[in-house]
Structure 1
């Protein structure tokens, strides 16, 4: 398995605030890698830099051999890197099916291939199929999260960036969402996951990076970090 994403010496500023300081990490093809850390650690900022929503001050981001650090977001999506944003951001006045179709807007492989993938998403997420004609704004939080994942899958991504998918969901729904993430990964989609629920994230990830105030504080196999005393005290509450 080759390297899919490499972030090297990344520096990102919000105005005069130095939010990301010389961060370096990589994600290999087929992995689930998670970034964990407290609020304000720089996790979402890192995701936005990778997906092209924020331009880094310095450092490089490479995806499948392409330098994407200064690339526009829609071009990054076309390369096969899709983000499921924090807070889900579904189009509330559009139906479930219309939201999913929006996910395919960068594709050039024809209506029949897109229709086929729509059915694949409905097979994977049957609750969305039941609600395909329902307005997205009327869905529950968990269903909106499923819709946001389904919409990203309609881009046919090679890699999925997931930003806080468990936010605001009940423990039962969190389990369901994490099972979906695992299934998507088993189908060959590489995953970079930002998650406050460090326990769940470390359970499904292959490797993890701990971010603190814009720097990588620790890294390693997810099961090792889950048993690390510092990590347990700071993020797992034990």
Structure 2
């Protein structure tokens, strides 16, 4: 049984079919990436899984349970946590308060403390800025904060939407190193990313989305060496 199974997912925005019946799976412990150009349907796929947008048809199974029509808050309760594109931190709250917000559904106080310490290890920049207002952080720091907040929810499956968007190359490397550490610590990851080269370098498997359909899927290393993929997404 796959951890996540998306079957024949169809989503429309008015007359436009954003997703045309896509199917894919995520196994426990994997890093899976969805790559594709702008408007290919990557973010729509994540929003459909989190039930933030209405699906026309298709089904989504998480750990064997049908979550297709489960409300977004119940999906979060199951341990399926999304880090949205554009970061969306609580700007008027401190870094510490944002991180604590991630754990608001949890009761295990001792483990929460340990998880906060782990977040500070993963994101030392945040540890230096705990009392700073989150809205005053740089883009890269806000991305780290959004990820730290999500990790405090104890995700079983972490959905990452464009974590490198708008970041300087040195920060992109840092974010991807952190994604690898999160994966090694046992969290399964579904990554949507425009930086196909970086995404393929850390993923186990990848699916290429083109205008709402999966054009190709397979082992990430194989796709990174595929001539057609290199030409379309990796700049030759």
TM-score between both structures, scaled by the size of structure 2: 0.97
Alpha-carbon distance between aligned partners in 1 of 2:221 and 2:119, rounded to the nearest angstrom: 30
In structure 2, the residue matched to 1:17 is 16
CA RMSD of aligned residues (A): 1.0
Please state how far the C-alpha of 1:137 moved relative to its aligned partner.
Answer: 0.8
Q: CA deviation digits over 1:172-198, x for unaligned, max 9?
A: 000000000000000000000000000
**How many pairs does the alignment contain?**
236
1:181 equivalent among 154, 179, 182: 179
Partner of 1:80: 79
- Give the aligned partner of residue 98 of structure 1: 97
Q: 1:161 aligns with which of 159, 165, 175?
A: 159
Structure 2 matches for 1:1-238, cutoff 5 A?
Answer: 2-107=1-106, 109-238=107-236
The 1-side partners of 2:198 and 2:209 are apart by: 17
Alpha-carbon distance in 2 for matches of 1:210, 1:23: 11
SS in 1 for 2:223: helix
Q: Tell me, what secondary structure is at the counterpart of 2:69?
A: coil
Structure 1 stretches of at least 4 aligned residues deviating more than 4 Å after TM superposition: none
Deviations 1:88-118 (A, max 9, x none): 00011100011111111222x2433323322
- Residue 126 of structure 1: CA displacement? 1.3
Hey, what's the Cα distance between the residues in 2 that align with 1:118 and 1:51?
Answer: 25
- For structure 2, the 5+ residue unaligned runs are none
- CA deviation profile, 1:71-103 (whole Å, cap 9, x unmatched): 111111111111010000001110001111111
For the residue of structure 2 that corresponds to 1:3, the secondary structure is coil
1:161 is paired with a residue whose SS is: strand
C-alpha distance in 1 between matches for 2:105 and 2:228: 43
Contact 1:74 1:106 in 2 (8 A): no
Measure, in 2, the Cα distance between the counterparts of 1:48 and 1:130.
Answer: 33
